[in-house]
Amino acid sequence: MKKLKSNLRLSICLIVCIGGMSKIGTAQEVTVSLGGGLQGVHHQGDQVNGDIKVGGGLGIGYTYFISKEWGMATGVGLDMYRTNLGIGDNRVIRSFEVDDTTSAFEYRVIPTGYSEEQRLYSLSVPIMLTYKSQHSGSGKVGFYARAGSKIVFPLRQNIDVRAERLELRGYYPDLNLEIDDLPNHGFGTLTDLSGESQNELSTVVLTASIETGLYFKLKPTMDLYTGLYVDYGLSDLRDKDRNSNIVGYGPTGTNDISAKGGMANNDLMDKSRLMALGLKVRVGFSLNKTQEVPQPEDRPILTDTKEPVEDVIDEPAPPKEVVTSEEKMAVPTLTDKEVETITSPMAFDTIDNVSITPQLAKRLDRVAQILLDNDSVHVIMKGYTCNLGSEQVNQRVGRQRAQSVADYLRAKGVDANRMEVISMGESSPVVPNTSSENRRKNRRVSISIDKEANR
């Protein structure tokens, strides 16, 4: 029990440490899961035969993403493992006991038609490396995989025992005497035996665990995962420090015996390992809020023309957004050319780039001069991204791009109260996100005339 509590405290510490890393992570997710399938204990040994039955479990998890695709996952789960165990007829199962006169003897149990149903309940702590792909072209489906280990804490084992016949014998080596017919002292033959027992297991075990499948985006902050999971025990579930028989010795009579189960005897089988193969459904809730990433007003402006330009593509500019006649009428002091200079989209060619390049700086210098010459004009900066990356990340990048444009204009003397910054994320692409060229066109900032403010 002390060993169990110590390992439990260690697992809790691991969960707290990984949870604390969320302060520097790019994204976090809380999940609730339900799984089921063939889930039981695989008993290895010539004298036994086992049949793993349907089991299942519930879990609560936490994932800390260290990048867009990769993360570490932990949590806590409650599982049930079900197994049917049979023991070959006429096998002699031995253990050492002490009788009612304090004499030591070898307790021999010989079963016929023996079977037991085992139900093992456990608490598990997974530590898993997680991969989560970006969305496919539809934008709603992706692939995920998890691999790692689980620390399993057995809580309780319930067993239902049935036997056609049990012979209970006592062998006293000092006297070279075997007693098989003394019911008042616990030796004799029982028929049509059935009983229940509850055992506590204190051996903490490890499993190798894999889970893989598809995930579906239900909402911007909610994903549904469906996949296949496999668990395989890396260590023996039995307590090797103790060894008893499949039924306990009853010193006051054969009717006082109690069921112990096959796992109580270490000589009966070689190993007992946890095994599971089934389907799991998991619902994930993102902890990131898209509006909680504002840029500070006094952050430095990246306008150094000597800064190396990343991935500059010499290609046609993105399609121009239509300027309506109503928009022109709202600002009669601007010419058509000035309106076009302001409202033509500004491309950000590289993924995650939020800096003002020298090319954009030249364009923004003209926009700033127009706004300074027309101090009654108010504008709206909208930042866009392509569909690569999660929605949360794209929302942040879109806002950073729009904020970079606003900060540059403010540094040129345009009043910040005349500018509004909005992130559109990956929404409203000007062209379908079906190629790298199209995605470059969708990574942009557009400036529109604020018609309401200019009335």
* Cα–Cα distance, 359 to 362 (Å, whole number): 6
125 against 200, higher pLDDT? 125
* Cα–Cα distance, 230 to 4 (Å, whole number): 24
Residue 15 burial by Cβ neighbours in a 10 Å radius (0-12, 13-18, 19+): middle
Q: Is 325-454 a CATH 3.30.110.30 domain? A: no
Over the stretch 190-245, which tens digit does the pLDDT of each residue have? 999 888 888 888 789 999 999 999 999 888 789 999 999 999 999 988 887 778 89
Q: Is 2-286 a CATH 2.40.160.20 domain? A: yes
> Which residues make Cβ contacts (< 8 Å) with residue 346, sequence separation at least 6?
360, 363, 364, 405, 444, 445, 446, 447
pLDDT-derived band of residue 300, with 50, 70 and 90 as boundaries?
very low
Give yes or no for a contact between 5 and 21, defined as CB atoms under 8 angstroms apart.
no
Give yes or no for a contact between 454 and 335, defined as CB atoms under 8 angstroms apart.
no
Helix, strand, or coil (residue 329): helix
* Cα–Cα distance, 40 to 32 (Å, whole number): 22
User: In whole angstroms, what separates CA 20 from the centre of its chain?
Assistant: 16
Over the stretch 331-387, which tens digit does the pLDDT of each residue have? 447 888 889 888 989 988 788 788 898 888 999 999 999 999 988 899 999 999 998
Over the stretch 255-269, which tens digit does the pLDDT of each residue have? 888 888 888 888 888
* Cα–Cα distance, 237 to 169 (Å, whole number): 28
Give yes or no for a contact between 151 and 84, defined as CB atoms under 8 angstroms apart.
no
Give yes or no for a contact between 364 and 347, defined as CB atoms under 8 angstroms apart.
no
Sequence-ordered strand ranges (E) for 220-341:
222-233, 271-286
Give yes or no for a contact between 75 and 125, defined as CB atoms under 8 angstroms apart.
yes
Beta strand pairing call for 114-132 and 70-87: antiparallel
Residue 407 burial by Cβ neighbours in a 10 Å radius (0-12, 13-18, 19+): buried
Which tokens go with 428?
């409203």
User: In whole angstroms, what separates CA 280 from the centre of its chain?
Assistant: 11
Helix, strand, or coil (residue 399): helix
Q: Using a pLDDT cut of 90, give the percent of the chain over it.
A: 50
- The pLDDT assigned to 376 comes to 87
> Which residues make Cβ contacts (< 8 Å) with residue 434, sequence separation at least 6?
137
Residue 259 per-residue DSSP state: B
- The pLDDT assigned to 67 comes to 85
Span(s) in the chain for CATH 3.30.1330.60: 325-454
Span(s) in the chain for CATH 2.40.160.20: 2-286
Over the stretch 371-397, which tens digit does the pLDDT of each residue have? 999 888 999 999 999 988 888 888 999
- The pLDDT assigned to 116 comes to 94
Which of 60-69, 255-264, 275-284 is predicted most confidently? 275-284
